[in-house]
Structure 1
Amino acid sequence: MRRFAALPLLFAPMIAWGDCTKNLQTWAQALHPTLSLASDFAVCKVNPADTSQVLAALPLKVNVDEYGQGDYSLDVLVADASSGKIIAHHYQEAAIVSDAVQFSGLTLDTARYQLAPGLRAFGVRIRHTGSSRVNPFSSETLSLYVNDGSQLRQITRHLVVSESHGEWDGVCAGEFDEIKRTLAMGKPGKDGFSKLRVTEISTGSQSVPKGADDCQEIERATQTKRFSLNYDGGRYEVPKGLRFE
């Protein structure tokens, strides 16, 4: 994992920042001239916590085939909204794997993740979707980043915030499960960083044939679990059962 200080990148006169997407290719070319930007998935938006900044996530093709399968690197950056100069960024090689479970999109999450006084995180959500009709699968993960002045740090990695999967016969009979997780800020812990309180809600259903032509869906009882993620001085470690593998 490589981290970089602010870069004095020079750009041509910048466009109006109402449409930051026009600069995604420029940033990608400046940072990684040998890699190809997966432009259909690249995103950016003004930082609501500091409107002088723009946030962006750039997935880059490493060994991706014509069907979109392979490895993608990911560069997440903060740029000055007036000049377009990159303030800080975080690059991770092979951050996204797309195979039978395909990489299907990403978004920037700018909810109020106030981790400590004067330190607010933002997130990148990555979606994967399965290709099997009789074994449907989808997942969305959340990674949090903070800009502490000179560098952008990833402090929470690949927390699964939603997942659904099932197995059925393609007609009626089958079982389906879904998990949703939400984050809330807890009390300050080590180094003044708030604990992350994770609430997990699990639901499920079973479909069974009823008569010759009908299909009955039976809902299972909802289950709720709660977890806490503690800051260890560098990041919030996500337990194996809560992260995307």
Structure 2
Amino acid sequence: MNKKALILAASLLAPVFAHAACTDFMQTWVDKLHPGRTLDTTLAVCKQWPANPDLTLAVLPLEQKGNSDDQGTDDLAILVADSTSGSVIARLYEPDAITFDAVRVSAIELDTARYQLKPGNRAFGVRVHYSGSSSANSFGGTSLSLYTIEGQTLHKVVDRLAVSSGSGETNGECDGFYDSTDRTIDIGPISREGYAVLKMSEKSTHTVSKMVSGKCVDKDTSQRKSFDLNYTNGRYAVSKALQWN
């Protein structure tokens, strides 16, 4: 194999090795920080931080006693670790963080977009994706929480902001409706509190589906609005109406 081929092969394998090393640490972290707890391996996630590859981010859902396949509650252990050694640098434990019953947690995702909330301190996100189990009465969405590193702890600055949500009803063939809301974040100017203003854009859509001449036809009505989230009293002010509960 020539030199160029070797370099290409190494570049293709590097992400695989990095991911394997990341996941290999998961059970060790649980055994050390939360001995005796059971890791929910279907939802656990970790990722090397693109903004600082020396650091690895992880979300470890810990099952509570009495959980079943249909319902239960997981605590969350969220941590930042050294990418090479696996040594934990900062962490946060959130009891009763996610609950599932008719609405399931389908996935947890680490969001490493450029959340530069204040100079010299970039946040990372945790997105929790939910989905309903009924096809006739659909329901689902995604929450976003943002965290910054403060010494050896993590500081939650955005708590379960609903960045997408949707619900609707259908007769199983066509006729029905669906309401959805999607929110995006832009980083605004630095406020007097030292944190950037979060500039929110929201789009809400009401879709009505009807059978017309043998075809299922959708009619959308959309509304858009913008608003700001400001940092106050240690975190961004996310109202109950904007939170995923």
TM over 0.5: yes
**Pairs aligned (count):** 228
Give, as a single letter, the amino acid of the residue that structure 2 aligns with 1:238: V
For residue 191 of structure 1, the aligned residue among 193, 200, 203 is 193
Report the equivalent of 2:138.
136
Matches within 5 A, 1:75-224: 75-211=77-213, 213-220=214-221, 222-224=222-224
Cα distance in 2 for partners of 1:41, 1:134 equals: 26
Instruction: Among all aligned residue pairs of Structure 1 and Structure 2, give the percentage whose two residues are the same amino acid.
Output: 42
Cα distance in 2 for partners of 1:55, 1:68 equals: 28
| TM-score after normalising by structure 1 | 0.89
Report the equivalent of 2:229.
229
Query: Could you list the runs of 5+ residues in structure 1 that have no partner in the other structure?
Result: 1-15
CA deviation profile, 1:84-136 (whole Å, cap 9, x unmatched)? 11001000100001011111110000000000100100000001111111110
Matches within 5 A, 1:52-91: 52-63=54-65, 65-91=67-93
Cα distance in 2 for partners of 1:124, 1:95 equals: 12
Deviation at 1:236, TM superposition (A): 0.7
Instruction: Sort the Cα spacing of 1:227 and 1:64 in 2 relative to 1 into closer, same or farther, 3 A.
Output: farther
Report the equivalent of 1:34.
36
Higher helix share: 2
Query: Could you list the runs of 5+ residues in structure 2 that have no partner in the other structure?
Result: 1-16
Deviation at 1:204, TM superposition (A): 2.4
Cα distance in 1 for partners of 2:176, 2:197 equals: 39
Q: Which has the higher contact order (CA 8 A, sep 6+)?
A: 1
Give, as a single letter, the amino acid of the residue that structure 1 aligns with 2:54: S
| TM-score after normalising by structure 2 | 0.89
Deviation at 1:18, TM superposition (A): 4.3
Cα distance in 2 for partners of 1:33, 1:142 equals: 28
Query: Does the 8 Å CA contact 1:191/1:233 hold for their aligned counterparts?
Result: no
CA deviation profile, 1:177-221 (whole Å, cap 9, x unmatched)? 11111111111113211111111111221111224x33222222x
Considering only aligned residues, what root-mean-square deviation do their CA atoms show, in Å? 1.4
